[in-house]
Chains A and B, each alone.
Chain A
Amino acid sequence: MDVRRHKDIIAVRTGTGRPVALHARNLSIAELSDDAWKALSPNAGSRLGEALDELEAWNLFDDPETQADTTAFGVRSLTLNVTQICNLHCTYCAAGGDGTYGDPVQRISIEKTLPQIEFFLDQLKPGQSFHIAFLGGEPLLYPEAVKGIGRYVLEEAARRDLRATFKVTTNGTLIGAKAIDALTAIRANVVVSMDGPADLHDRQRLTKSGGGSFEAVFKGLKALLDNRQRLGRIGVHAVFNEKNLEVEKAWDFFQTLSVDDIDFTYTVADSDREATRVYNEGIARVAEKAWNKGGEAELTRIGSFRSIFARLDGKRRLENHCGMGKTMMVVDSHNKLWSCPWTIGKRDNLLGEGADLDYDRLEGHRGTIIERNDCGDCWARFVCGGGCSFVHGTTAGKNALKKKDDYCERTRFLIAQALVYYHRARTAEAG
């Protein structure tokens, strides 16, 4: 893949395909002529002046149809730790290494949690959405809380004319009758953490005794799929790093499962450039295979491609990679409020407790994450929204910014790949 740039125009060409360009501010996609592609080369000759003039005119153009995806202040999503314990011991767990965040809590207090949620529901207007992501620890160690809290929110949402949705992120090893009852009671979207087939999965997703967990997870996923009529979307989420860069092998396995969503994440601590190169190559092969198998529908089963396609279709500039401290907060098992699931226990990220919010600290989240992470004129800024603040060290403020270049490199590579397929999907090549 060859990438060229002129100010806010980025162009990508793969093999013999047409050059595809993105206008970074307008989020417009265009097909370029061969002369325009050549004009983007540092060695372009003067005879390409016309093409370069057109590129410059496009660069200066501000499309009135493109808008900022401004994130209105107000919490509409809570990530809720109903437990801070886990039955697995995954090698890359950043929740204290064992799901506890260094502070094991068996069970959240439902009695304390319901009034806390009521406080946030009170801020919403009829017609708005409210979302709870059950996390942990392993949330299905306490399915009664998932069901009890979820049912409360559903009842309140019906009374207040709100739309309530739920997501449960689970390791998939505890999908018994109680778990199915809890998940179906709230028609949960379910994400199962799974790194691929057994030999990949069992490298890092281990039981406490060091054994593999694949068999139990696969059985759990099957139980979820058997109940899919009573659930929301069912997805798998895989983690990659130096110890597992086999993205293609993972996808080969996932695409045989009848899941709705496939998500890939790369670990934070690993910043090996060669590993990033191998991972990116894997992503490129996966994209091609997915496209060849089922075009846009199959490619956008992969969450990162789906969100980029949606961003380009919607033509809304993303200024906040996530809703941290604006629309989203994390509730730990002590009912303390945090900006991000990764920062639980880090005092300078504490946003409140119960219904008492630290409004001074919340003011610090008013600015955009693009500003916070100092994205400057990066061409990908309005698609990625500034990236993950935890990765770049800015969850508590801009002062601690430490840009992770390899993260940005993976992000830009993914977006560049997506541009090529977006062009295929929206032109005759789709057929």
Chain B
Amino acid sequence: MAKTKHIKIIKPAVKAGQPAQSEMPPGDGCIPIK
């Protein structure tokens, strides 16, 4: 996106396109609580 006057994009800490740093597949070991 072109540079703008009112919106300053913040750079992420890792290069875009790299997998998110999820350490485990999501959903495992969810504790059933009612």
Query: Do residues B10 and A31 form an inter-chain contact, with CB atoms below 8 A?
Result: yes
| B29 CB → nearest A CB, Å | 3
Query: Do residues B32 and A328 form an inter-chain contact, with CB atoms below 8 A?
Result: no
Which residues of A, 71-123, contact B by the 8 Å Cβ criterion?
76-79, 92-95
Query: Do residues B6 and A51 form an inter-chain contact, with CB atoms below 8 A?
Result: yes
Query: Do residues A94 and B24 form an inter-chain contact, with CB atoms below 8 A?
Result: no
Query: Do residues A77 and B28 form an inter-chain contact, with CB atoms below 8 A?
Result: yes
| B17 CB → nearest A CB, Å | 6
Q: A267-B33, A426-B12, A427-B10 are in contact. Are A165 and B24 (CB under 8 A)?
A: yes
Which residues of B, 1-34, contact A by the 8 Å Cβ criterion?
1, 4-14, 16-34
| A338 CB → nearest B CB, Å | 11
Q: Is A1 interfacial (CB-CB < 8 Å)?
A: no
Q: Is A321 interfacial (CB-CB < 8 Å)?
A: yes
Q: A54-B4, A65-B17, A310-B21 are in contact. Are A341 and B9 (CB under 8 A)?
A: no
Main secondary structure of the interface of A (DSSP, over half): mixed
List the B side residues contacting A322 at CB < 8 Å: 26-27, 30
Main secondary structure of the interface of B (DSSP, over half): loop
Query: Do residues A310 and B22 form an inter-chain contact, with CB atoms below 8 A?
Result: yes
Query: Do residues A341 and B31 form an inter-chain contact, with CB atoms below 8 A?
Result: yes
Q: Is A191 interfacial (CB-CB < 8 Å)?
A: yes
Query: Do residues B28 and A133 form an inter-chain contact, with CB atoms below 8 A?
Result: yes
Query: Do residues B25 and A76 form an inter-chain contact, with CB atoms below 8 A?
Result: yes
Docked pose: A265 CA to B29 CA in angstroms: 13
Q: A30-B9, A31-B8, A32-B7 are in contact. Are A239 and B28 (CB under 8 A)?
A: no
List the A side residues contacting B1 at CB < 8 Å: 57-58, 61, 63
Contact with B along A253-276 (1 / 0, CB 8 A): 000000000000101110000000
List the A side residues contacting B19 at CB < 8 Å: 69, 314, 316
| B16 CB → nearest A CB, Å | 4
Picked from A31, A79, A237, A311, the residue with its CB within 8 Å of the CB of B28 is: A79
| A358 CB → nearest B CB, Å | 19
Docked pose: A170 CA to B29 CA in angstroms: 10
Query: Do residues B31 and A77 form an inter-chain contact, with CB atoms below 8 A?
Result: no
Q: A267-B33, A324-B27, A340-B27 are in contact. Are A314 and B6 (CB under 8 A)?
A: no
Picked from A32, A131, A239, A423, the residue with its CB within 8 Å of the CB of B25 is: A131
Picked from A58, A193, A267, the residue with its CB within 8 Å of the CB of B7 is: A58
List the B side residues contacting A63 at CB < 8 Å: 1, 16
Docked pose: A35 CA to B11 CA in angstroms: 22
Q: A61-B1, A63-B1, A239-B33 are in contact. Are A323 and B10 (CB under 8 A)?
A: no
Query: Do residues B16 and A77 form an inter-chain contact, with CB atoms below 8 A?
Result: no
Query: Do residues B12 and A341 form an inter-chain contact, with CB atoms below 8 A?
Result: no
Q: How many residues of A contact B (CB 8 A)?
A: 75
Query: Do residues A50 and B22 form an inter-chain contact, with CB atoms below 8 A?
Result: no
Q: Is A336 interfacial (CB-CB < 8 Å)?
A: no
| A94 CB → nearest B CB, Å | 4
Q: A50-B6, A169-B31, A340-B30 are in contact. Are A313 and B20 (CB under 8 A)?
A: yes
Query: Do residues A33 and B6 form an inter-chain contact, with CB atoms below 8 A?
Result: yes
List the B side residues contacting A327 at CB < 8 Å: 25, 27
List the B side residues contacting A312 at CB < 8 Å: 12
Q: A30-B9, A307-B22, A313-B20 are in contact. Are A265 and B27 (CB under 8 A)?
A: no
List the B side residues contacting A201 at CB < 8 Å: none
Docked pose: A358 CA to B2 CA in angstroms: 50
Query: Do residues B17 and A30 form an inter-chain contact, with CB atoms below 8 A?
Result: no
Query: Do residues A135 and B7 form an inter-chain contact, with CB atoms below 8 A?
Result: no
Residue of B nearest to A312 (CB): B12
Q: A36-B7, A50-B5 are in contact. Are A315 and B12 (CB under 8 A)?
A: yes
Docked pose: A314 CA to B22 CA in angstroms: 10
Query: Do residues A237 and B21 form an inter-chain contact, with CB atoms below 8 A?
Result: no
List the B side residues contacting A388 at CB < 8 Å: 30
List the A side residues contacting B24 at CB < 8 Å: 77, 131, 133, 165, 167, 189
Show 22 residue pairs from A and B whose CB-CB distance is below 8 angstroms, ordered by the A residue. A31-B10, A51-B5, A54-B7, A55-B7, A57-B4, A63-B1, A77-B28, A78-B28, A94-B34, A131-B28, A133-B24, A135-B29, A265-B31, A314-B12, A314-B19, A315-B17, A320-B26, A323-B25, A328-B28, A341-B30, A425-B13, A426-B11
